[in-house]
Protein backbone atom coordinates (compact mmCIF):
# COMPACT_ATOMS: atom_id res chain seq x y z
CA UNK A 1 0.00 0.00 0.00
CA UNK A 2 1.15 3.57 -0.57
CA UNK A 3 2.36 5.20 2.67
CA UNK A 4 2.25 8.81 3.81
CA UNK A 5 5.78 9.31 2.48
CA UNK A 6 4.59 8.15 -0.95
CA UNK A 7 1.79 10.71 -0.86
CA UNK A 8 4.29 13.46 -0.07
CA UNK A 9 6.47 12.36 -2.97
CA UNK A 10 3.48 12.22 -5.32
CA UNK A 11 2.41 15.75 -4.45
CA UNK A 12 6.04 17.01 -4.35
CA UNK A 13 5.23 18.86 -1.15
CA UNK A 14 2.39 18.75 1.37
CA UNK A 15 2.77 22.39 2.32
CA UNK A 16 -0.44 24.20 1.48
CA UNK A 17 -2.04 21.04 0.07
CA UNK A 18 -5.57 20.19 1.16
CA UNK A 19 -5.77 16.57 2.38
CA UNK A 20 -8.94 14.59 3.11
CA UNK A 21 -8.39 11.99 5.85
CA UNK A 22 -11.00 9.25 6.27
CA UNK A 23 -10.99 8.42 9.97
CA UNK A 24 -13.09 6.05 12.03
CA UNK A 25 -14.41 8.32 14.76
CA UNK A 26 -17.47 6.15 15.34
CA UNK A 27 -17.03 6.55 19.08
CA UNK A 28 -19.47 5.45 21.80
CA UNK A 29 -21.72 8.29 22.97
CA UNK A 30 -23.68 8.58 26.21
CA UNK A 31 -25.91 11.61 26.51
CA UNK A 32 -23.97 13.29 23.69
CA UNK A 33 -20.69 12.77 25.53
CA UNK A 34 -17.87 10.53 24.30
CA UNK A 35 -17.34 7.62 26.71
CA UNK A 36 -14.19 6.33 25.00
CA UNK A 37 -12.04 8.48 22.68
CA UNK A 38 -9.58 5.72 21.71
CA UNK A 39 -10.44 5.98 18.01
CA UNK A 40 -9.81 9.70 17.97
CA UNK A 41 -6.49 9.42 19.78
CA UNK A 42 -5.45 6.55 17.49
CA UNK A 43 -5.65 8.84 14.45
CA UNK A 44 -3.44 11.58 15.93
CA UNK A 45 -0.09 10.29 14.59
CA UNK A 46 -1.41 10.55 11.03
CA UNK A 47 -3.09 13.93 11.51
CA UNK A 48 -0.06 15.43 13.25
CA UNK A 49 2.36 14.09 10.61
CA UNK A 50 0.38 15.84 7.88
CA UNK A 51 0.05 19.08 9.84
CA UNK A 52 3.78 19.17 10.63
CA UNK A 53 4.42 19.19 6.88
CA UNK A 54 2.12 22.13 6.32
CA UNK A 55 -0.94 20.32 4.97
CA UNK A 56 -4.47 21.68 5.36
CA UNK A 57 -6.11 18.64 6.98
CA UNK A 58 -9.83 17.84 6.90
CA UNK A 59 -11.08 14.67 8.61
CA UNK A 60 -14.27 12.83 7.76
CA UNK A 61 -16.06 9.99 9.52
CA UNK A 62 -19.35 8.20 9.97
CA UNK A 63 -21.11 8.07 13.34
CA UNK A 64 -23.78 5.50 14.08
CA UNK A 65 -26.38 4.48 11.50
CA UNK A 66 -28.55 7.42 10.49
CA UNK A 67 -29.54 5.58 7.29
CA UNK A 68 -29.07 8.50 4.93
CA UNK A 69 -31.05 10.96 7.05
CA UNK A 70 -29.92 13.91 9.15
CA UNK A 71 -30.15 12.88 12.79
CA UNK A 72 -29.09 15.58 15.28
CA UNK A 73 -28.30 12.88 17.86
CA UNK A 74 -25.62 11.54 15.50
CA UNK A 75 -24.08 14.85 14.44
CA UNK A 76 -20.29 14.96 14.82
CA UNK A 77 -20.29 17.89 17.26
CA UNK A 78 -18.99 15.84 20.26
CA UNK A 79 -16.25 14.44 18.02
CA UNK A 80 -15.45 17.92 16.68
CA UNK A 81 -15.12 19.27 20.22
CA UNK A 82 -12.77 16.48 21.32
CA UNK A 83 -10.73 16.71 18.12
CA UNK A 84 -10.39 20.46 18.68
CA UNK A 85 -8.80 19.69 22.05
CA UNK A 86 -6.42 17.04 20.71
CA UNK A 87 -5.53 18.47 17.29
CA UNK A 88 -6.82 22.06 16.97
CA UNK A 89 -5.77 22.55 13.35
CA UNK A 90 -7.88 19.71 11.94
CA UNK A 91 -11.33 20.41 10.50
CA UNK A 92 -14.01 17.71 10.33
CA UNK A 93 -16.92 17.23 7.95
CA UNK A 94 -20.43 16.35 9.11
CA UNK A 95 -21.45 12.69 9.52
CA UNK A 96 -20.88 11.03 6.14
CA UNK A 97 -23.86 8.74 6.58
CA UNK A 98 -26.28 11.64 6.68
CA UNK A 99 -26.08 11.24 2.89
CA UNK A 100 -27.31 7.90 1.50
CA UNK A 101 -24.62 8.14 -1.16
CA UNK A 102 -21.98 7.15 1.40
CA UNK A 103 -23.16 3.60 2.03
CA UNK A 104 -24.38 3.23 -1.58
CA UNK A 105 -20.90 4.17 -2.88
CA UNK A 106 -22.52 6.78 -5.10
CA UNK A 107 -20.18 8.31 -7.73
CA UNK A 108 -21.97 11.60 -7.19
CA UNK A 109 -21.17 11.54 -3.49
CA UNK A 110 -17.53 10.65 -4.22
CA UNK A 111 -17.32 13.65 -6.56
CA UNK A 112 -18.91 15.85 -3.89
CA UNK A 113 -16.34 14.71 -1.33
CA UNK A 114 -13.21 15.17 -3.39
CA UNK A 115 -14.43 18.53 -4.71
CA UNK A 116 -14.27 19.75 -1.12
CA UNK A 117 -17.74 18.96 0.21
CA UNK A 118 -18.74 22.53 -0.38
CA UNK A 119 -15.27 23.96 0.26
CA UNK A 120 -11.96 24.01 -1.54
CA UNK A 121 -11.15 20.88 -3.59
CA UNK A 122 -8.79 18.29 -2.08
CA UNK A 123 -5.32 17.55 -3.45
CA UNK A 124 -4.85 14.18 -1.77
CA UNK A 125 -6.53 11.49 0.32
CA UNK A 126 -5.50 9.37 3.30
CA UNK A 127 -7.38 6.33 4.60
CA UNK A 128 -6.79 5.89 8.32
CA UNK A 129 -10.17 4.25 9.01
CA UNK A 130 -9.31 0.60 9.47
CA UNK A 131 -12.65 -0.01 11.20
CA UNK A 132 -14.50 1.03 8.01
CA UNK A 133 -12.14 -0.46 5.43
CA UNK A 134 -14.15 -3.66 5.08
CA UNK A 135 -16.99 -1.56 3.64
CA UNK A 136 -17.15 -0.55 -0.03
CA UNK A 137 -18.45 2.87 0.94
CA UNK A 138 -17.93 6.06 -1.04
CA UNK A 139 -15.45 7.68 1.34
CA UNK A 140 -13.39 4.48 1.59
CA UNK A 141 -13.07 3.24 -1.99
CA UNK A 142 -14.01 6.34 -4.01
CA UNK A 143 -11.27 8.97 -3.42
CA UNK A 144 -8.34 6.65 -4.28
CA UNK A 145 -9.76 6.42 -7.80
CA UNK A 146 -9.53 10.19 -8.19
CA UNK A 147 -6.74 11.52 -5.94
CA UNK A 148 -3.17 10.66 -4.93
CA UNK A 149 -3.78 8.46 -1.89
CA UNK A 150 -2.06 6.71 1.00
CA UNK A 151 -2.63 4.65 4.11
CA UNK A 152 -2.43 6.46 7.42
CA UNK A 153 -0.25 5.26 10.30
CA UNK A 154 -3.15 3.55 12.08
CA UNK A 155 -4.28 1.63 9.01
CA UNK A 156 -0.70 0.67 8.22
CA UNK A 157 -0.14 -0.69 11.74
CA UNK A 158 -3.42 -2.63 11.78
CA UNK A 159 -2.58 -4.35 8.49
CA UNK A 160 0.97 -5.07 9.67
CA UNK A 161 -0.13 -6.74 12.91
CA UNK A 162 -3.31 -8.49 11.81
CA UNK A 163 -1.95 -9.50 8.43
CA UNK A 164 1.05 -11.12 10.13
CA UNK A 165 -1.25 -13.40 12.14
CA UNK A 166 -1.92 -15.42 9.01
CA UNK A 167 1.77 -16.25 8.62
CA UNK A 168 3.15 -15.91 12.16
CA UNK A 169 6.04 -18.12 13.21
CA UNK A 170 5.32 -17.46 16.89
CA UNK A 171 4.17 -20.79 18.32
CA UNK A 172 2.07 -21.87 20.05
CA UNK A 173 -0.49 -19.54 18.44
CA UNK A 174 -3.73 -19.38 20.44
CA UNK A 175 -6.99 -18.01 19.07
CA UNK A 176 -9.88 -17.04 21.35
CA UNK A 177 -13.34 -16.34 19.96
CA UNK A 178 -16.46 -15.38 21.86
CA UNK A 179 -19.64 -13.50 21.14
CA UNK A 180 -23.13 -14.59 20.26
CA UNK A 181 -23.39 -16.22 16.85
CA UNK A 182 -21.45 -18.94 15.07
CA UNK A 183 -22.90 -17.67 11.78
CA UNK A 184 -21.14 -14.31 12.25
CA UNK A 185 -17.75 -15.96 12.70
CA UNK A 186 -17.93 -19.19 10.73
CA UNK A 187 -15.50 -17.94 8.09
CA UNK A 188 -12.96 -16.66 10.60
CA UNK A 189 -13.19 -19.91 12.61
CA UNK A 190 -12.26 -21.84 9.48
CA UNK A 191 -9.46 -19.40 8.66
CA UNK A 192 -8.02 -19.49 12.18
CA UNK A 193 -8.10 -23.28 12.32
CA UNK A 194 -5.63 -23.26 9.43
CA UNK A 195 -3.04 -21.23 11.38
CA UNK A 196 -3.59 -21.61 15.14
CA UNK A 197 -2.42 -24.42 17.37
CA UNK A 198 -5.52 -24.13 19.55
CA UNK A 199 -8.83 -22.24 19.22
CA UNK A 200 -10.84 -21.48 22.34
CA UNK A 201 -14.55 -20.89 21.68
CA UNK A 202 -16.57 -19.27 24.45
CA UNK A 203 -19.44 -16.83 24.73
CA UNK A 204 -22.89 -17.82 23.53
CA UNK A 205 -21.29 -19.45 20.46
CA UNK A 206 -20.21 -22.42 22.54
CA UNK A 207 -23.79 -23.61 23.07
CA UNK A 208 -24.30 -24.44 19.41
CA UNK A 209 -21.12 -26.53 19.64
CA UNK A 210 -22.44 -28.17 22.84
CA UNK A 211 -25.64 -29.02 20.99
CA UNK A 212 -23.56 -30.53 18.18
CA UNK A 213 -21.96 -32.77 20.81
CA UNK A 214 -25.37 -33.88 22.06
CA UNK A 215 -25.61 -31.84 25.26
CA UNK A 216 -28.83 -30.30 26.54
CA UNK A 217 -28.35 -26.54 26.77
CA UNK A 218 -31.54 -25.37 28.45
CA UNK A 219 -32.67 -21.98 27.19
CA UNK A 220 -29.18 -20.91 26.05
CA UNK A 221 -28.71 -19.29 22.67
CA UNK A 222 -28.39 -21.84 19.88
CA UNK A 223 -28.27 -21.48 16.11
CA UNK A 224 -29.97 -24.66 14.98
CA UNK A 225 -28.97 -24.10 11.35
CA UNK A 226 -25.29 -24.06 12.38
CA UNK A 227 -25.27 -27.36 14.30
CA UNK A 228 -24.07 -29.38 11.30
CA UNK A 229 -21.33 -26.81 10.62
CA UNK A 230 -20.20 -27.10 14.24
CA UNK A 231 -20.10 -30.90 13.93
CA UNK A 232 -17.95 -30.54 10.82
CA UNK A 233 -15.54 -28.15 12.55
CA UNK A 234 -15.22 -30.45 15.55
CA UNK A 235 -14.50 -33.37 13.22
CA UNK A 236 -11.55 -31.54 11.63
CA UNK A 237 -9.31 -32.30 14.60
CA UNK A 238 -8.69 -31.45 18.22
CA UNK A 239 -7.75 -27.76 17.92
CA UNK A 240 -11.10 -26.45 19.19
CA UNK A 241 -11.33 -26.08 22.97
CA UNK A 242 -14.76 -25.59 24.52
CA UNK A 243 -15.64 -24.56 28.09
CA UNK A 244 -15.90 -27.38 30.60
CA UNK A 245 -18.27 -25.51 32.88
CA UNK A 246 -20.82 -22.72 32.57
CA UNK A 247 -22.26 -19.96 34.75
CA UNK A 248 -26.03 -20.14 34.26
CA UNK A 249 -29.14 -18.16 35.24
CA UNK A 250 -32.36 -19.73 36.46
CA UNK A 251 -35.60 -19.55 34.41
CA UNK A 252 -37.02 -16.76 36.58
CA UNK A 253 -33.90 -14.61 36.22
CA UNK A 254 -33.27 -11.52 34.13
CA UNK A 255 -30.23 -9.75 32.75
CA UNK A 256 -29.17 -6.49 34.38
CA UNK A 257 -30.72 -6.99 37.81
CA UNK A 258 -30.45 -9.40 40.74
CA UNK A 259 -33.49 -11.49 39.84
CA UNK A 260 -32.96 -15.23 39.60
CA UNK A 261 -30.42 -17.76 40.84
CA UNK A 262 -26.91 -17.98 39.41
CA UNK A 263 -25.33 -21.42 39.47
CA UNK A 264 -22.20 -23.15 38.17
CA UNK A 265 -22.95 -26.10 35.88
CA UNK A 266 -21.24 -28.44 33.45
CA UNK A 267 -21.87 -28.52 29.71
CA UNK A 268 -25.45 -29.78 30.11
CA UNK A 269 -28.04 -27.34 31.45
CA UNK A 270 -31.55 -28.07 32.80
CA UNK A 271 -34.61 -26.90 30.92
CA UNK A 272 -35.19 -23.16 31.22
CA UNK A 273 -31.70 -22.35 32.50
CA UNK A 274 -29.58 -20.02 30.37
CA UNK A 275 -25.79 -20.09 30.11
CA UNK A 276 -24.39 -16.56 30.27
CA UNK A 277 -20.68 -16.96 31.03
CA UNK A 278 -17.93 -19.54 31.15
CA UNK A 279 -17.40 -21.09 34.56
CA UNK A 280 -14.37 -20.71 36.87
CA UNK A 281 -12.92 -24.06 35.82
CA UNK A 282 -12.96 -23.06 32.15
CA UNK A 283 -11.49 -19.66 33.00
CA UNK A 284 -8.57 -21.34 34.78
CA UNK A 285 -7.99 -23.73 31.85
CA UNK A 286 -8.08 -20.88 29.33
CA UNK A 287 -5.71 -18.80 31.48
CA UNK A 288 -3.17 -21.64 31.41
CA UNK A 289 -3.40 -21.84 27.62
CA UNK A 290 -2.86 -18.06 27.34
CA UNK A 291 0.21 -18.14 29.58
CA UNK A 292 1.77 -20.91 27.47
CA UNK A 293 1.13 -19.22 24.09
CA UNK A 294 3.59 -16.96 22.27
CA UNK A 295 0.90 -15.37 20.06
CA UNK A 296 -2.69 -14.77 21.22
CA UNK A 297 -5.58 -13.29 19.24
CA UNK A 298 -8.87 -12.59 21.05
CA UNK A 299 -12.18 -11.42 19.62
CA UNK A 300 -15.49 -11.65 21.48
CA UNK A 301 -16.37 -11.74 25.20
CA UNK A 302 -16.79 -14.96 27.15
CA UNK A 303 -20.16 -13.97 28.53
CA UNK A 304 -22.67 -11.21 29.16
CA UNK A 305 -19.99 -9.08 30.84
CA UNK A 306 -22.25 -6.01 31.04
CA UNK A 307 -23.97 -7.80 33.94
CA UNK A 308 -21.44 -8.11 36.83
CA UNK A 309 -22.74 -11.60 37.63
CA UNK A 310 -21.53 -12.80 34.24
CA UNK A 311 -18.33 -10.78 33.84
CA UNK A 312 -15.88 -13.12 35.57
CA UNK A 313 -14.99 -15.15 32.49
CA UNK A 314 -14.28 -12.14 30.28
CA UNK A 315 -12.35 -10.43 33.09
CA UNK A 316 -10.25 -13.56 33.65
CA UNK A 317 -9.32 -13.74 29.97
CA UNK A 318 -8.49 -10.03 29.98
CA UNK A 319 -6.29 -10.41 33.06
CA UNK A 320 -4.49 -13.38 31.51
CA UNK A 321 -3.94 -11.41 28.29
CA UNK A 322 -2.54 -8.50 30.30
CA UNK A 323 -0.16 -10.84 32.15
CA UNK A 324 0.83 -12.91 29.11
CA UNK A 325 4.45 -13.10 27.97
CA UNK A 326 3.38 -13.76 24.38
CA UNK A 327 2.33 -11.13 21.82
CA UNK A 328 -1.30 -10.19 22.51
CA UNK A 329 -3.80 -8.90 19.96
CA UNK A 330 -7.37 -7.81 20.68
CA UNK A 331 -9.59 -7.92 17.59
CA UNK A 332 -11.65 -4.82 18.37
CA UNK A 333 -15.39 -4.82 19.07
CA UNK A 334 -16.74 -5.93 22.45
CA UNK A 335 -13.37 -7.43 23.42
CA UNK A 336 -11.72 -4.03 23.13
CA UNK A 337 -14.58 -2.51 25.13
CA UNK A 338 -14.12 -5.11 27.86
CA UNK A 339 -10.35 -4.59 27.97
CA UNK A 340 -10.92 -0.86 28.37
CA UNK A 341 -13.61 -1.32 31.03
CA UNK A 342 -11.41 -3.65 33.09
CA UNK A 343 -8.38 -1.29 32.73
CA UNK A 344 -6.15 -3.85 30.97
CA UNK A 345 -5.59 -1.84 27.76
CA UNK A 346 -2.10 -0.51 28.67
CA UNK A 347 -0.81 -4.08 28.96
CA UNK A 348 -1.97 -5.36 25.56
CA UNK A 349 0.43 -5.29 22.59
CA UNK A 350 -2.17 -4.36 19.96
CA UNK A 351 -5.83 -3.42 20.29
CA UNK A 352 -7.52 -3.21 16.91
CA UNK A 353 -9.91 -0.33 16.23
CA UNK A 354 -12.05 -2.52 13.97
CA UNK A 355 -13.95 -5.61 15.11
CA UNK A 356 -15.59 -6.55 11.82
CA UNK A 357 -12.61 -5.36 9.80
CA UNK A 358 -10.13 -7.39 11.83
CA UNK A 359 -12.17 -10.57 11.40
CA UNK A 360 -12.64 -9.99 7.68
CA UNK A 361 -8.93 -9.36 7.19
CA UNK A 362 -8.12 -12.60 9.01
CA UNK A 363 -10.72 -14.48 7.01
CA UNK A 364 -10.04 -13.11 3.53
CA UNK A 365 -6.56 -11.63 3.74
CA UNK A 366 -7.73 -8.35 2.20
CA UNK A 367 -10.28 -5.54 2.50
CA UNK A 368 -12.00 -3.26 -0.06
CA UNK A 369 -10.29 -0.20 1.43
CA UNK A 370 -6.85 -1.78 1.08
CA UNK A 371 -7.53 -2.87 -2.49
CA UNK A 372 -8.60 0.67 -3.39
CA UNK A 373 -5.37 2.13 -2.00
CA UNK A 374 -3.19 -0.36 -3.88
CA UNK A 375 -4.97 0.54 -7.13
CA UNK A 376 -4.70 4.30 -6.55
Dump pLDDT digits (tens) for 261-299.
Answer: 999 999 999 999 999 999 999 999 999 999 999 999 999
pLDDT of residue 105: 98
pLDDT tier at 182 (50, 70, 90 boundaries)? very high
Catalytic residue among 275, 303, 331, 333: 333
pTM: 0.91
> Which residue would you say has higher pLDDT here, 167 or 49?
49
Fold of 166-363: Rossmann fold (3.40.50)
SS3 letters across the chain = CCCHHHHHHHCCCCCCCEEEEECCCCCCEECCEECCCHHHHHCHHHHHHHHHCCCEEEEECCCCCCCCCCCHHHCCHHHHHHHHHHCCCCEECCCHHHCCCCCCCCHHHHHHHHCCCCCCCCCEEEECCHHHCCCCCHHHHCHHHCCCEEECHHHHHHHHHHHHHCCCCCCCEEEEECCCCHHHHHHHHHHHHCCCCEEEECCCHHHHHHHHCCCCECCCCCCHHHHHHHHHHHHCCCCEECCCCEEEECCCCCCCCCCCCEEEECCCECCCCEEEEECHHHHHHHHHHHHHCCEEEEECCCCCCCCHHHCHHHHHHHHHHHHCCCEEEECCHHHHHHHHHCCCHHHCCEECCCHHHHHHHHHHCCCHHHHHHHHC
Average pLDDT, the chain: 95
Active site residue 39: yes
- CATH fold match for the domains 4-158 and 166-363: yes
The pLDDT, as a whole number, for residue 334 is 86
| Range with top average pLDDT, 117-126, 134-143, 164-173 | 134-143
The more confident residue out of 167 and 74 is: 74
Question: Does residue 35 have a pLDDT over 90?
Answer: no
For domain 4-158, the CATH architecture is: 3-Layer(aba) Sandwich (3.40)
Question: Which is catalytic among the residues 124, 142, 332, 356?
Answer: 356
Which pLDDT score, from 0 to 100, does residue 259 have?
87
Q: Where are the domains of the chain?
A: 4-158, 166-363
Catalytic (active site) residue 266:
no
| 356 part of the active site | yes
pLDDT attached to residue 119: 85
The pLDDT value recorded for residue 349 is 96
Q: Given this model, what pLDDT does residue 118 score?
A: 82
pLDDT tens for each residue of 145-159: 999 999 999 999 999
Average pLDDT rounded to a whole number, residues 101-111: 97
Supply the pLDDT for residue 149.
98
With a cut of 90, say whether residue 258 has pLDDT above it.
no
Of 181, 231, 239, 263, the active-site residue reads 181
User: Is there a catalytic annotation at residue 30?
Assistant: no
What is the rounded average pLDDT of the residues 201-212?
97
Q: Which of 22, 39, 185, 309 is catalytic?
A: 39
Q: What is the pLDDT of residue 31?
A: 86
Percentage of the chain exceeding pLDDT 70: 100
pLDDT over 90 (residue 36): no
Amino acid sequence: MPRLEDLETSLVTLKGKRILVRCDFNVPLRNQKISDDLRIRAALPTLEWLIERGADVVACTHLGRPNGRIDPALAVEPVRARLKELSPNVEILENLRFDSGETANSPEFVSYLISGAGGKAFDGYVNDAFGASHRSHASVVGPPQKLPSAAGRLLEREVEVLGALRTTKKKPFLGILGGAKVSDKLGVIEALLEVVDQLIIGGAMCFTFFKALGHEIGDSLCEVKQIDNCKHLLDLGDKIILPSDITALSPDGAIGNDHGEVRQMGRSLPQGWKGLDIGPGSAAEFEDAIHEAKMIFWNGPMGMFEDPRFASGTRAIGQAMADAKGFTVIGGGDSAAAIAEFKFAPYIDHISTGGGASLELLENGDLPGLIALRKS
